[in-house]
């Protein structure tokens, strides 16, 4: 199969969250299975800041959108096994922030990503044969629609639309309609209208040939009013074309055997060096080393979804379990301040870094004893799977992909790879951490639990095969 993978963020070029990890790894996995998968993404300023300067493949390309003409260059480089194309338009992408700044979204996001979708369709011939275009999230939601209303032969190409998070829908005022090349009849409930706005995610769901999401659990959850974010009714009408395919882990990036960022290398047979990683992590956060005290790590976007209010609310109880808490995150000002206050108040017990730092994320994975994800909802979640590989025991809320990948440890049977709690409450959170700390005190049981996790295999190969099946089914 020939696949074009469309994504608004791709690791290592530009990343804000899990979508970038998926976009950086799944195409490679598809190529390893002897298919041809190329990536296309916007040429953000961030790509250069990350040290990549893709050469120009084609200059001064033109598209018209609404009443205007736009000019852009098509850039190209090869990364690992994969061809990567970049749409380079300075007006839209040469600025700080992929989607916005901490204060606000970019005001022209509707136009930026309409342009991105339209520009991609204009360069398909430069990329070569394509059977399936795989779109991801609202930023590429208009592409299946543009493809369907296009009258030339490229309409033979099929589209898959993957939802990585229902809560981010790309909602814009209807006034953008003329500028994105659509007519007013798209402002109806059976097309793009969503409570008076237009929804790019709705375009992706309605006009693609198949819809997927990133775990089997979340694929079921989004059909309910609790998790469907207002689109559950629409999704139910497409239920037979909705597939849950679990994200995988790129073990060439996330593996304590080879990780270039960590203080000591280790593996499932020999964990001796993990303690060096813990010492290093505590040093980085100016916390005194104490092997009796488990370190609870968190790496997260600071957003309501992640259940961090529960952590803040019960921080006193969590730390009084004789634990350290180490958090790396950035996001909503409200949470940034909440955790800055915790850092002030609990010096010597809690280490907080507000910011985005890939190297530190690896060091937290390796140096922590437990990894906490109290999410209110979690489409897939990647860090719990990374943690398993690092012998860092996940403590998660039983929702979406967290529920699919983590099984509760039972000290009697020695089965399970982590700890789970169901109720989204401070009491349930403290209770599960109490349980985890009890097991931590028993070295033998803890080691079994760590090894259960390290022996789990969430590599991309299986999921990539499921995607291939799906591409074939719709072609």
Q: Single out the segment in contact with ligand ADP by CB under 6 A; choices: 153-161, 222-230, 356-364, 457-465.
A: 356-364
Residue 48, SS3?
helix
Identity of the residue, 23 or 330, whose beta carbon is nearer to ligand ADP in the bound complex: 330
Could you check whether the bond before residue 12 is cis, i.e. omega within 30 degrees of 0? yes
Number of residues that bind ligand ADP (CB under 6 A): 17
Question: Least separation, in Å, of the C-beta of 376 and ligand ADP?
Answer: 12
Give Cβ neighbours of residue 137 (< 8 Å, ≥ 6 apart). 7, 8, 19, 162, 163, 164, 165, 168, 170, 201, 204
Beta strands per DSSP E along 91-245: 132-136, 158-163, 171-172, 193-194, 197-199, 210-213, 242-244
Q: Single out the segment in contact with ligand ADP by CB under 6 A; choices: 226-234, 309-317, 355-363, 454-462.
A: 355-363
DSSP lists the bridge partners of residue 100 as 105
Identity of the residue, 71 or 359, whose beta carbon is nearer to ligand ADP in the bound complex: 359
Supply the DSSP string of 408-459, one letter for each residue.
Answer: B-BTTTTB-SBEEE-S-SHHHHHHHHHHHHHHHHSHHHHHHHHHHHHT---B
Question: Least separation, in Å, of the C-beta of 392 and ligand ADP?
Answer: 12
Question: Least separation, in Å, of the C-beta of 22 and ligand ADP?
Answer: 8
Question: Does residue number 328 form part of the binding site for ligand ADP (CB under 6 A)?
Answer: yes
Site for ligand ADP in 261-320 (CB under 6 A): 299-301
Determine what percent of the chain falls in helix, strand and coil, rounding each to the nearest 5: 40, 25, 35
What is the Cα–Cα distance from 353 to 292, expressed in whole angstroms? 23
Question: Which positions from 372 to 391 touch ligand ADP by CB under 6 A, shown as an x/- string?
Answer: --------xxxx--------
Q: Single out the segment in contact with ligand ADP by CB under 6 A; choices: 1-9, 44-52, 59-67, 324-332.
A: 324-332
Question: Does residue number 17 form part of the binding site for ligand ADP (CB under 6 A)?
Answer: yes
Question: Least separation, in Å, of the C-beta of 328 and ligand ADP?
Answer: 5
Give Cβ neighbours of residue 277 (< 8 Å, ≥ 6 apart). 256, 262, 263, 264, 266, 363, 366, 367
Give the residue, chosen from 61, 361, 437, 470, that forms a contact with ligand ADP under the rule CB under 6 A. 361
Give the residue, chosen from 91, 357, 427, 438, that forms a contact with ligand ADP under the rule CB under 6 A. 357
Identity of the residue, 39 or 206, whose beta carbon is nearer to ligand ADP in the bound complex: 39
Question: Least separation, in Å, of the C-beta of 361 and ligand ADP?
Answer: 4
What is the Cα–Cα distance from 194 to 413, expressed in whole angstroms? 50
Give the residue, chosen from 9, 21, 88, 209, that forms a contact with ligand ADP under the rule CB under 6 A. 21
Identity of the residue, 124 or 312, whose beta carbon is nearer to ligand ADP in the bound complex: 312
Identity of the residue, 162 or 330, whose beta carbon is nearer to ligand ADP in the bound complex: 330
Encoded tokens for 226: 């609790």
Question: Least separation, in Å, of the C-beta of 110 and ligand ADP?
Answer: 22
Question: Least separation, in Å, of the C-beta of 381 and ligand ADP?
Answer: 5
Question: Does residue number 329 form part of the binding site for ligand ADP (CB under 6 A)?
Answer: yes
Q: Single out the segment in contact with ligand ADP by CB under 6 A; choices: 110-118, 183-191, 238-246, 351-359.
A: 351-359
Tell me phi and psi for residue 16, to 5 degrees: -120, -20
C-beta of residue 137 within 8 angstroms of C-beta of residue 201? yes
Q: For ligand ADP, which residue has the nearest CB?
A: 18
What is the Cα–Cα distance from 228 to 271, expressed in whole angstroms? 42
Give the residue, chosen from 223, 276, 356, 428, that forms a contact with ligand ADP under the rule CB under 6 A. 356
DSSP state of 47: H
Identity of the residue, 5 or 186, whose beta carbon is nearer to ligand ADP in the bound complex: 5
What is the Cα–Cα distance from 175 to 384, expressed in whole angstroms? 41
Identity of the residue, 169 or 300, whose beta carbon is nearer to ligand ADP in the bound complex: 300
Question: Does residue number 330 form part of the binding site for ligand ADP (CB under 6 A)?
Answer: yes
Question: Least separation, in Å, of the C-beta of 401 and ligand ADP?
Answer: 8
What is the Cα–Cα distance from 451 to 391, expressed in whole angstroms? 7
Identity of the residue, 358 or 451, whose beta carbon is nearer to ligand ADP in the bound complex: 358
Question: Least separation, in Å, of the C-beta of 74 and ligand ADP?
Answer: 28
Spatial strand order of the sheet with 132-136 comes to 56-65, 68-79, 82-88, 36-42, 2-6, 132-136, 158-163, 210-213, 242-244
To the nearest 10 degrees (0 to 180), the angle between helices 142-149 and 200-207 is 50
| Residue from 247, 273, 248 nearest 390 by CA | 273
What is the Cα–Cα distance from 371 to 354, expressed in whole angstroms? 17
Per CB under 6 A, residues contacting ligand ADP are 17-18, 21, 299-301, 328-330, 356-358, 361, 380-383
């Amino acid at each position: 199969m020939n696949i074009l993978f469309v994504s608004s963020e791709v690791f290592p070029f530009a990343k804000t969250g899990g979508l970038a990890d998926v976009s950086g790894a799944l195409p490679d996995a598809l190529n390893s299975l002897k298919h041809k998968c190329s990536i296309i993404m916007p040429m953000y300023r961030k790509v250069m800041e990350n040290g990549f300067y893709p050469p120009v493949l084609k200059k001064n390309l033109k598209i018209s959108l609404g009443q205007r003409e736009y000019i852009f260059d098509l850039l190209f480089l090869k990364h690992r096994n994969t061809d990567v194309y970049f749409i380079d338009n300075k007006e839209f992408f040469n600025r700080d922030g992929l989607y916005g700044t901490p204060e606000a979204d970019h005001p022209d996001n509707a136009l930026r990503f309409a342009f991105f979708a339209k520009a991609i369709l204009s360069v398909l011939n430069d990329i070569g044969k394509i059977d399936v275009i795989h779109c991801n999230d609202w930023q590429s939601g208009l592409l299946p629609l543009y493809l369907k209303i296009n009258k030339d032969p490229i309409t033979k190409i099929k589209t898959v639309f993957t939802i990585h998070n229902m809560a981010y829908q790309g909602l814009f005022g209807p006034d953008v309609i003329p500028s994105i090349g659509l007519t007013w009849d798209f402002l109806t409930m059976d097309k793009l209208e969503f409570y008076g706005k237009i929804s790019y995610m709705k375009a992706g769901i309605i006009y693609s040939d198949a819809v997927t999401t990133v775990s089997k659990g979340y694929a079921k959850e989004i059909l309910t009013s609790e998790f469907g974010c207002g689109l559950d009714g629409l999704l139910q009408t497409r239920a037979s074309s909705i597939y849950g395919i679990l994200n995988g882990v790129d073990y060439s990036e996330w593996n304590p055997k080879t990780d270039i960022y960590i203080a000591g290398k280790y593996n499932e047979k020999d964990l001796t060096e993990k303690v060096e990683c813990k010492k290093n992590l505590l040093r980085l956060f100016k916390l005194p080393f104490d092997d009796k005290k488990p370190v609870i790590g968190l790496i997260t976007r600071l957003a309501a979804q992640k259940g961090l209010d529960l952590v803040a609310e019960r921080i006193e109880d969590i730390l009084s379990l004789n634990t350290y808490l180490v958090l790396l995150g950035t996001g909503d000002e409200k949470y940034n301040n909440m955790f800055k206050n915790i850092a002030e108040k609990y010096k010597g017990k809690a280490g907080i870094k507000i910011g985005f730092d890939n190297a530190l994320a690896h060091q937290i994975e390796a140096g922590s004893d437990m990894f906490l994800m109290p999410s209110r909802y979690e489409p897939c979640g990647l860090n719990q799977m990374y943690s398993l590989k690092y012998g860092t025991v996940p403590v998660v809320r039983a929702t979406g992909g967290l529920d699919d990948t983590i099984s509760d440890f039972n000290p009697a049977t020695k089965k399970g790879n982590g700890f789970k709690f169901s109720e989204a409450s401070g009491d349930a959170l403290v209770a599960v951490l109490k349980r985890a700390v009890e097991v931590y005190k028993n070295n033998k049981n803890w080691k079994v639990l760590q090894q259960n996790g390290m022996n789990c295999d969430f590599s991309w190969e299986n999921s990539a095969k499921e995607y291939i099946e799906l591409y074939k089914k719709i072609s």
